[in-house]
Structure 1
Amino acid sequence: MQPLASLGERIVILGPSNAGKSTLALALSAKLGLPAVHLDQLQHLPGTDWQPRSEAEFKALHDAAIEKDQWVMEGNYSRLMPQRLARATGIILITSSPWLRIGRYLKRTLINRADRAGHLEGARDSIKWEMIHWILVKTRDSDKKYAEIVRASGLPAVECHTARALNELYRVWGLSSPVMKPEARGTPNPGS
């Protein structure tokens, strides 16, 4: 396994929906002191049930985020991946069983915690059959597609294809579950 330091200060995390990208991004952010960027939060309007922004607005937010000197950025959005990988210094790919990902999706949606990693501010998640179909059918072979992208990038990379491998990554790199900010737990944010 690559040493964490070999991935540099602009790390891309790829993988199918509900594989654990957002949680890993926060754990790396806490360990390395790099800002975590969740592409789903840039793509969707806060306070909605995951309503997308216009493509132009999303692209502008994405491009502004990748121009920064340091970040851990999680999410796929293949149409914008070339410019993201051109700025990245390392990549992590995490995949897992579709059934494990369905379980994570149902748990995160039913429990619906505002402090969940990658949660959309002000949103109340709901179970969507489209998302279940996406996880079980549409992204069934995405792990192969992402692995090809990672290998073709030429960047230092780590691939975790099972939950056990991801747990080992946390252990070897000394990562812990991220601690949520007080405002994410419902405490008023004095800066708001």
Structure 2
Amino acid sequence: MNDVEKILQVIKLGEGLKKEIRHSWLSDGRKESVAEHTWRVSLMAILVEKKLKQKIDIEKLLKMIVIHDLVEVKAGDIPAFDTINNQANKLEKLENEIKAMEEIKEMLPEDIGQELFDLWMEFERKESNEAKVANALDKLEAQIQHNEADISTWLEVEKGMTFLLGQHTEFDSFLDDLKKEIEKDGEEKLIHSGVDVTKYKESIG
């Protein structure tokens, strides 16, 4: 198989993200695809780049974001609440995703495959500022989508997760300010729906 054929097969693999459905609901009452989530995380990266405390490599950041969820074509999408307090699930998810990324790496020309694999691992390990930003935007976009969805779609665990975003954004003041606005939107949505948010906020105090 030549390089054109190798690249095309991964482009075709990418269609799977259009069909892979996330847990999150949209404001029009349907669930979102992984591809839709990834697109808006990429948009967020472009919009916040110049406001970040530390200068970042935007090309590297966008590459990380675009490829990060590609493994879900093979490994599936696992909601954060399924792993947040379950170490066994977290390790199983990571193992499955590393295996998927290794398979994708082997599908591509060697230089491209290695680059994508290295970027994916860097994201997972949060080894660089770009990786930290990518992770933060990934989490923030998910909360924005929850805020936009009908409150009836929220699970109990997601109500509490509204107030846990700070651990992902505290390294950058602009992202932390963005987090506060997103958190405020979520809190207002909960309160408007008659939810007592005190217990969720006290649990992280």
The two structures have a TM-score, normalised by structure 1, of 0.34
In terms of fraction of residues, the more helix-rich structure is 2
In terms of fraction of residues, the more strand-rich structure is 1
Bigger relative CO (Cα 8 Å, ≥ 6 apart): 1
The two structures have a TM-score, normalised by structure 2, of 0.33
Q: Which has the larger radius of gyration?
A: 2
